[in-house]
Amino acid sequence: MDRAIVVDRLVKNFEVTEKEKGLRGSIKSIFSPKKKVVHALRGISFTIQPGELVGFIGPNGAGKTTTLKTLSGLLYPSSGFVQVLEYDPWEKKPEFLKQISLVMGQKNQLWWDLPAIETFELNREIYEIPRRDYEKNLEELVTLLDVGKLLKTQVRRLSLGQRMRMELVAALLHGPKVLFLDEPTIGLDLIGQQKIRDFIYEYNYKKNATIILTSHNMDDLTNLARRVIVIGAGRILFDGALEELTDRFAKEKIIKISLSKEIDIKEVEEIGTVKYVSFPEVTLSVPRSTVAVAAAEILQNFPVNDLTIEEVPVEEIIKKVFRGELNK
Amino acid sequence: MKKYLQIFKLSFQQEFAYRLNFVMWRVRNILQIILTFFLWSSVFKNPETSVFGYNQEKILTYVFGILILRAIVFSARAVDVAGEISNGDITNFLLKPISYFKYWATRDTASKVLNLSFSVVEITILFVILRPHLFLQTNLLILFAVFVFLILAVILFFCLLFITNMSAFWMPENGWAAQFLFIAIITDFLSGGVFPLDILPYTFQKVLYSTPFPYLLFFPLQVYLGKIAGLEIIRGLVTSFAWVFILFMSVRFIWAKGLKRYSAEGR
């Protein structure tokens, strides 16, 4: 098998009922509900190789979660073709379900009133994991995620971060080959985030697992994803290496200069947009096409000690992606 | 099969997690029994009184019978299905190699076993204290027929409950209302939970017998009381089986339709 995931011209539409505000609106919608079709995915295509770790990014409502849900068999595609591990996810064959896992940062599968270990035991039965594999996986996951002492605590008494790590254990006990992670670090503190990130990295590396990750957390993406797929308004805007995102979308370059004498900053503003001033350092951004001319002009007209030309940091581009400012 | 055994065990633990709730639930049951007992005992003060063919002994047996049957047939956890659909929790099950029906059937069974075992203890104690005149059926063949009808009733109610709950696929907000109206009021009424159905007009009864409702409570109890026998039992059996088949197919059909509509909301 050379492709773990194949998606071809996938379309997903939802029919939603709209309600006008207030009591009158509510009553009105009982008698004449206003139906509206939402085009969540407008024909997306991509393939993912086994062992790849891909980041899905895009503004809210772009279709990231819809894609993950379709890939894990929850949603029925309106049209198009979807294949995961050579199965049609919608059929929900047990052999398929035993090889995947979908972790959603805000959804839990743990039994709220019972200790987490009870859910784990249940999952062992549901996924028919042999006792020896189960013990081994549990030991490994519990150590990696550092939750050994909490196994017998009622889930309701765990903190959000502890619970999220338990959720990961529950989702991974059966050793899925394909993992869909939807905002796995949402709501966690920095240390909690780091723990989860390290873990995802390890899991991907050690098990050669295929992972798709959506996140609004910059560090998740820059630390984990080598390849990113940018989705906006139900379409794919970019698919490639994280670094290429800059080449593709950065319309500007960054010039950093170090001055030897104080100058009137207004004069520099004629050359490019000043981003940052703290004498002797000045940072400005200029259009890509004119960067050489701008640099020459600066060197000629100002007392410059040092000058470097840099790419816009990838974080800046990703921020733009989240704000929905990228277009094809 | 072992996965469902595990779910059975967890369901028990889950019920006991809220101890106070559990105790209150039992207290309510006991109170309900005592209240109905005194109500009907005073209505039929004179043991000779007979209304619609029910004397004190028979009516008391009827109300107690209904209480026990309700505990068996109507006690179900699957009322939570609508909630799981509308808040998206059902997602957890769709992602796993497990049957959602069998999952709920297991949880229902756990609930029934728990409810029944406590009911038996409570009723025995109350029986000793109140010493009511109840009708005890001794014919083993009839008792066996009652058992068969009881199993059918449980399946019928499970299907009805599931169908009602699956309306949440189309109307996620209305799950509770549909449930209350359909299960708590209509079903209880039409199945003889409120009063014996044979006091209703004859034509109405006839129509009712071709619906699944009387077979939930009334019919099994009538068989127990010896009021229905012979050919009528066979007819009831055939009707029940037919409804089990029809409802089971409907559940599967609606489930398949509903899943396609499902949008895994709430995330």
User: How many interchain CB pairs under 8 A, A with B?
Assistant: 69
Q: How far is B199 from chain A (nearest CA, A)?
A: 38
Helix-strand-coil percent breakdown of chain B, rounded to 5? 75, 0, 25
What is the rounded average pLDDT of the residues A193-214? 90
User: What number of other Cβ atoms are within 10 A of residue A125's Cβ?
Assistant: 17
- The answer to whether the CB atoms of B267 and A118 lie below 8 A apart is no
- B residues 242-261 near A, CB within 8 Å? 259-260
What is the band of B35 on the pLDDT scale with cuts at 50, 70, 90? confident
Q: What is the pLDDT, as a whole number, of residue A45?
A: 95
β-partners of residue A286 are A253
CATH 3.40.30.10 fits A251-311, yes or no: no
| Residue spans per domain, chain A | 51-79+88-246, 251-311
Which residues of chain B lie closer than 8 angstroms to A72, CB-CB?
95
Partner B contacted by A81 (CB < 8 A): no
Segment A65-117, tens digit of pLDDT = 899 999 999 999 999 999 999 999 999 999 999 999 998 876 778 988 889 99
- The answer to whether the CB atoms of B260 and A76 lie below 8 A apart is yes
Q: Hey, what are A109's tokens?
A: 């599968």
User: What number of other Cβ atoms are within 10 A of residue A123's Cβ?
Assistant: 23
Q: Give the residue from B22, B96, B255 with the most A CB atoms within 10 Å of its CB, the best one to mutate.
A: B96
Is pLDDT of B233 > 60? yes
The ipTM of this complex is 0.79
Partner B contacted by A98 (CB < 8 A): yes
At the top level of CATH, the class of A51-79+88-246 is: alpha beta
Q: What is the pLDDT, as a whole number, of residue B143?
A: 92
What is the rounded average pLDDT of the residues A231-254? 86
User: What number of other Cβ atoms are within 10 A of residue A159's Cβ?
Assistant: 12
Which residues of chain A lie closer than 8 angstroms to B80, CB-CB?
none
pTM for this predicted structure: 0.83
Helix segments in chain A, DSSP class H: 22-31, 64-71, 94-97, 116-126, 131-145, 160-172, 190-207, 218-224, 244-249, 265-269, 291-301, 314-323
User: What whole-number distance in Å separates Cα of residue A168 and Cα of residue A265?
Assistant: 52
- The answer to whether the CB atoms of A102 and B17 lie below 8 A apart is no
- The answer to whether the CB atoms of B97 and A97 lie below 8 A apart is yes
What is the band of B174 on the pLDDT scale with cuts at 50, 70, 90? low
Which residues of chain B lie closer than 8 angstroms to A97, CB-CB?
95-97
Residue in B with minimal Cα distance to A122: B6
Segment A178-196, tens digit of pLDDT = 999 998 888 778 888 888 8
Question: If you average pLDDT over every residue of chain B, what do you get?
Answer: 86
End-to-end CA distance of chain B: 31
User: Looking at this protein, which amino acid is placed at residue A295?
Assistant: A
Q: Of residues B111 and A9, which shows the higher confidence score?
A: A9
Partner B contacted by A75 (CB < 8 A): yes
